[in-house]
Amino acid sequence: MKKNKKILILALLTVVISCGGGGGGGGGGGNTSNPTPSIPTPTPSVDSSKDSNGNIKWNDTTRTYNAGNPNNKTSATTQTGAGVTVGVIDMGFNTTNITYATDMRDKFGSRLVKPSSYTGQTSNDNHGIIVAEIIGGNTSNGIAKNVTIAVSDASKRGSDGKYHPDPTISMYNFLYSKGARIFNQSYGVDSQVTDSKWNNPYYVEAQMGSDILSFYKTAVNDGSLFVWAAGNNKKDSNPSLEAGLPYRVSELEKGWINVVGLANSSKENPGNTEWSKQERLSGAGVAKNWTVSAVSGITFKTGDNNYQANGSSFAAPMVTGTAALLKEKYPWMDGSLIRQTILSTATDIGKKGVDEDFGWGLLNIDKALKGPALFDKRLALGDNVVADVTSGTYTFSNDIAGDAGIIKNGTGELVLSGKNTFTGGTKVNAGRLKLGNQYVSSLEIAKMGTVETTENANLENGIKNEGTYVNSGSNTVIGGNYVASSSSKYVSELGASAYVKGQAELNGTLEASAVKDGEQQYITARGVKENIITSDNAIKGNFSNVETETLLNADVEKSENSVDVNLSRKNVEDYVSTLSLSDTMRNNVAQNIETSFKELDSQIENGNTENVKSFSRSAALIQKMSLPNAAAVLDSLSGQIYASAQALTFQHSQTVNKDLSNRLVMLGTLDNVGDNAGLWVTGIGANGRLRQEGFGVGKTHTYGGQVGVDKAFGNSLILGTALSYSKSDV
C-alpha cells in the first residue's frame, strides 16, 4: 500500500491581521505541521557541525551571512527567469477559495499555467501557491520573477481524512508538454530513504509508481532537473524516499537535487532567518552528494493577512528558482550541469566539506550565477564535465577547482575568466574556449575546436593542437609542450607572444593577424617585427603554410629557440595589376589608394598617429579585404557609379517617352473616329548593361508603367493625359 506523501511545512504563523477574520489563511500547513521538538545544544567537538556558541559553523570567509538576504541573491543579479518554464506539482492550485484564487492572479498573472480542467480533488490549501511564489512570484519572496510556472494540483484526501499530494503521470506529462524541464516537489513520504522496507526495488516502484519512475529516468537522461524537499524531521539523518531516490535508483542522480531546510527552532517566529536561530531539519545523509541547504523562513501575504512560515517545503523552491535563473543565463545547460553549478557554489557550513548534515552547503545564488566553482568527479559522476555550448558567448567567472576535466562541445564560445586549478584534462571538440589567468588543465584541441588565450594567460600544462590555437595577448606562458599536427592552425594576433617552457613542435598553418584588442590595425610598408614564440628548448618543425590579410606580407624567421614574423603591407597598385579583375579604372583606383597609403605611412612613422586615426582604421579594413570583395571595393571607390547613374537616367527617359509615343502612333492609325478615345494602361521592363572597355560593367534593371486617357477630335487633334511611374537600378 502506498504511503501518504506529506507537504513539508514545519511551522506557520499569522503575524499581522490587517482586517478581521482569516486566522488560518496559511492553508493546510497548520493541520499538517508539528511543533518543533526541543533539541539540546551539543557539546562542541572537533568534528561537530556547531561552533562554540552552538551555532551552525560558517566555514567560508569569502561570504558574510545576511539575515535579510539569507540565500545571497544580490542586486547584481539581472536574470529574472524570462523564457524559462518551471513545473510544480503541489496542492492548492485547484481552489474554490476566492482569496487564494486572487493570490494566484495577483502574484503571477498569465505566468501561471494551469490545466484547462482538473479531474482531481479540491483541498483549498495554499501550500502550492506559497511554493510557486518563492520560485517566481512578483513579491519580494520571488527568486525568478519572470519565469513561467506550469502547475498541477495533486490534492487527494487520504484515509486519515487529510489531503496529501498524490502525483500522477498525467500531471508530469502536462508540465513537460508546457516546456518544463525543471520540476519542484515540496512533499515526500514520512519515511527515510534508508529504511529497510525500501531495500526491495519492487516496493520502491510501487510507492513511486512505475510510470512515474520511468518518466523520471527518461526526463533525467534528456536533461531535466528534479528538486525535492528533504523533510522536516530533525531526528532524521536522511531525506525521504523521493528526495533520496538516487540512493535506490543511481541513474537519477545527475538530474536530482535534495534540499535540506534550515529553520528557526521556535514555532513562535518561524520566519526568523537570524543565523543563530537556524537548525537543520531532515539531514542530507546518504544523499549528501546531491544535497544543498537553504534557509527556509519566509514572510508572505495572503489576502489582507501577513504570515510567517518555514520548512523544507519552502527551501526547495529557492533552489528551483535559482535553477530557473541559471537556465536563463546559460540556456544550453542541461539539468546535470545546473545541478553541478548550484552544488559547487554552495557556501560550506557545518563540518568542513560535503557532510551528512548539509551536503555541499548553503545556497549561494549570486555565486551560482557566475558558473560552476568546481569541476569535480563526484558532481560530474565521471571524469569530465560536459559543456554543450550553443551559439553565443558565455562566461564562467568563478575560480574553478576540482579533480575533473571539461569537454567543450557546440559551436558557441565559453570564456573561463577566473583562476582555473582543476586538474582534469580539457578537450575542445567544437566552438571556442577562451582562457585568461591561471589554467592548470592540459589542453587538447580537436579539428573543429578553437582555444584562445588572452593577456598574461598562464597555462601550467601543454597544448596538443589539431584545430586552431589563437594567441591574442602578450606574455602567454605554456608550461608544458606545444605539439601541433598537420591540420592545426596557430593564429598570432598583433603584439601577442607565447613562451613555451617545454618542447615546441610546429606544424600546419600560421596565421599572422593584424588584429589587436579586437580591432584591425593598419600596417605600413616598412612594417613591424613580431616575436610570436620563444622556448627554453630547440623548436622542432616549422609551419607548412603562412597566411595573413590580403594586402599584407608575412615573412617568418625561425631560429633555434624563437619564431619571428615580419608583417608589412603590399603595394596596392602592384597587387591589383596582377589580378584577373584588373582593368583601367581599377588600376587607377589602386594607384590613388597607394598614394594615400604612402602619405599615411609617412604620418605614422613620424609619430602623427592621432591625426590620422580615423583614416588609419579605414585603411586597415581595405588591407583586410578578401579577393572576392576586391572588385566591389575598387569599383565603389572609383566614382564610376555617378557617371553610370547619369547615363541610365537618359536611357530611362528614352524608354518612357518611347512607350508614350507608341500610344500616339496607335491612335493615329485608327480608321474609325468613334474608336479614337479610351483608357489605356501599359507596363515596361528592361534589363541591360552599361559597359566600356577598361571600366566596370554596370548591370541595369528598369521597370514601371503608364496609365492614360485620351480622345480624338476630328482628324487632326488628339487630347489626353498620362501618368507614369518607373524605377531604374544600376
Is the separation of the CB atoms in 5 and 89 below 8 Å? no
Q: What pLDDT does residue 671 have?
A: 60
The dihedrals phi and psi of 81, each to the nearest 5 degrees, come to 85, 5
Is the separation of the CB atoms in 237 and 285 below 8 Å? yes
Q: What pLDDT does residue 118 have?
A: 74
pLDDT at 54 over 60: yes
How many CA atoms within 13 Å lie on the side-chain side of 611?
10
User: Stretch 205-211: mean pLDDT, rounded?
Assistant: 95
Dmax (CA) of the chain: 125
pLDDT at 173 over 50: yes
Q: What percent of the chain has pLDDT over 70?
A: 84
Is the separation of the CB atoms in 497 and 532 below 8 Å? yes
Q: What pLDDT does residue 83 have?
A: 98
Answer yes or no: 195 catalytic: no
User: Stretch 409-414: mean pLDDT, rounded?
Assistant: 98
Instruction: Please list the residues that pair with 227 across neighbouring strands.
Output: 184, 257
User: Stretch 239-249: mean pLDDT, rounded?
Assistant: 98
Could you name the CATH architecture of 5-27+74-344?
3-Layer(aba) Sandwich (3.40)
Lowest-confidence range among 269-283, 673-687, 691-705?
691-705
pLDDT at 203 over 50: yes
- Contact partners, residue 210, CB within 8 Å, separation at least 6: none
pLDDT at 139 over 90: yes
pLDDT tens string 623-652: 887 756 665 665 555 445 445 555 556 566
Q: What pLDDT does residue 545 have?
A: 97
Measured at the CA of 179, the angle between CA 178 and CA 183, to 5 degrees, comes to: 100
176 φψ region: left (φ > 0), alpha (ψ -120 to 50), beta (else):
alpha
Answer yes or no: 164 catalytic: no
Cα-to-chain-centroid distance, residue 515:
27
Is the separation of the CB atoms in 130 and 142 below 8 Å? no
Is the separation of the CB atoms in 524 and 605 below 8 Å? yes
pLDDT at 539 over 90: yes
First-to-last C-alpha distance (Å) of the chain: 83
Cell numbers representing residue 241 in the block: 524516499
Is the separation of the CB atoms in 12 and 309 below 8 Å? yes
Lowest-confidence range among 43-52, 83-92, 307-316, 469-478?
43-52
pLDDT at 44 over 50: no
With cut-offs at 50, 70 and 90, classify the pLDDT of residue 674. low
pLDDT at 24 over 50: no
161 φψ region: left (φ > 0), alpha (ψ -120 to 50), beta (else):
left
| DSSP conformation letters of 568-596 | EEPPHHHHHHTSTT--HHHHHHHHHHHHH
**Closest-CA residue to 129 (of 309, 324, 363, 282):** 309
Distance CA 342, CA 729 (A): 59
Q: What pLDDT does residue 243 have?
A: 98
More confident residue, 62 or 683: 62
Strands 405-409, 384-388: parallel, antiparallel or unpaired by DSSP? parallel
- Contact partners, residue 654, CB within 8 Å, separation at least 6: none
How many CA atoms within 13 Å lie on the side-chain side of 52?
0
Is the separation of the CB atoms in 711 and 631 below 8 Å? no
- Which helix (H) or strand (E) segment holds residue 210: the answer is helix 210-221
Q: What pLDDT does residue 703 have?
A: 72
If you average pLDDT over each of 10-14, 71-75, 154-158, 210-214, which comes out highest? 210-214
More confident residue, 398 or 74: 398
The type of residue at 103 is D
The type of residue at 137 is G
Q: Calculate the CA dihedral of residues 692, 696, 699, 700 and round it to 10 degrees.
A: -70
User: Strand, helix or coil at 340?
Assistant: helix
User: Strand, helix or coil at 466?
Assistant: coil
Q: What pLDDT does residue 7 have?
A: 65
Q: Could you write out the three-class secondary structure of 117-170?
A: CCCCCCCCCCHHHHHHHHHHCCCCCCCCCCCEEEEEECEEECCCCCEEECCCHH
Measured at the CA of 530, the angle between CA 525 and CA 531, to 5 degrees, comes to: 160
Query: Residues 224, 313, 336, 442: which is the catalytic one?
Result: 313
With cut-offs at 50, 70 and 90, classify the pLDDT of residue 31. very low
CB atoms within 10 A of CB 679: 9
| DSSP conformation letters of 166-202 | ---HHHHHHHHHTT--EEEE-EEESSBTTSGGGGSHH
pLDDT tens string 116-131: 877 667 888 899 999 9
Distance CA 436, CA 416 (A): 7
Q: What pLDDT does residue 158 have?
A: 86
**Domain definitions of the chain by residue range:** 5-27+74-344, 371-571, 573-638, 641-729
Is the separation of the CB atoms in 85 and 180 below 8 Å? yes
pLDDT at 470 over 80: yes
Answer yes or no: 675 catalytic: no
Query: Residues 103, 127, 155, 652: which is the catalytic one?
Result: 127
CB atoms within 10 A of CB 590: 22
pLDDT at 335 over 80: yes
Q: How many residues does the chain have?
A: 730
With cut-offs at 50, 70 and 90, classify the pLDDT of residue 75. confident
Lowest-confidence range among 43-57, 145-159, 221-235, 512-526?
43-57
Alpha helices by DSSP H, 625-677: 627-638, 640-668
149-169 CB burial, b ≥16 within 10 A, e <16:
bbbbbbbbeeeeeebbbbbbe
Mean confidence (pLDDT) of the chain? 88
Residue carrying the nine cell digits 501618368: 723
The type of residue at 723 is L
pLDDT at 28 over 50: no
If you average pLDDT over each of 61-75, 303-317, 398-412, which comes out highest? 398-412
pLDDT at 266 over 90: no
More confident residue, 466 or 304: 466
Q: What pLDDT does residue 474 have?
A: 93
pLDDT tens string 221-232: 999 999 999 999
Distance CA 26, CA 15 (A): 11
pLDDT tens string 578-605: 877 767 777 788 888 889 899 999 999 9
Distance CA 175, CA 89 (A): 9
Cell numbers representing residue 518 in the block: 579586437
pLDDT at 310 over 50: yes
Distance CA 185, CA 128 (A): 10
Q: What pLDDT does residue 532 have?
A: 98
pLDDT at 134 over 90: yes
What one-character DSSP code corresponds to residue 50? B
User: Stretch 551-560: mean pLDDT, rounded?
Assistant: 96
With cut-offs at 50, 70 and 90, classify the pLDDT of residue 511. very high
The type of residue at 547 is E
User: Stretch 176-187: mean pLDDT, rounded?
Assistant: 98
Measured at the CA of 647, the angle between CA 641 and CA 651, to 5 degrees, comes to: 135
Strands 498-500, 504-506: parallel, antiparallel or unpaired by DSSP? unpaired
Is the separation of the CB atoms in 137 and 107 below 8 Å? yes
Query: Residues 33, 90, 376, 652: which is the catalytic one?
Result: 90
Q: Calculate the CA dihedral of residues 320, 322, 326, 329 and round it to 10 degrees.
A: 130
Q: What pLDDT does residue 395 have?
A: 98
Q: What pLDDT does residue 23 have?
A: 30
> CA 88, 91, 92, 95 torsion: positive or negative?
positive
**Closest-CA residue to 662 (of 650, 654, 672):** 654
Q: What pLDDT does residue 633 have?
A: 62
pLDDT at 655 over 90: no
Is the separation of the CB atoms in 396 and 369 below 8 Å? no
Q: What percent of the chain has pLDDT over 90?
A: 69
Strands 291-295, 256-264: parallel, antiparallel or unpaired by DSSP? parallel
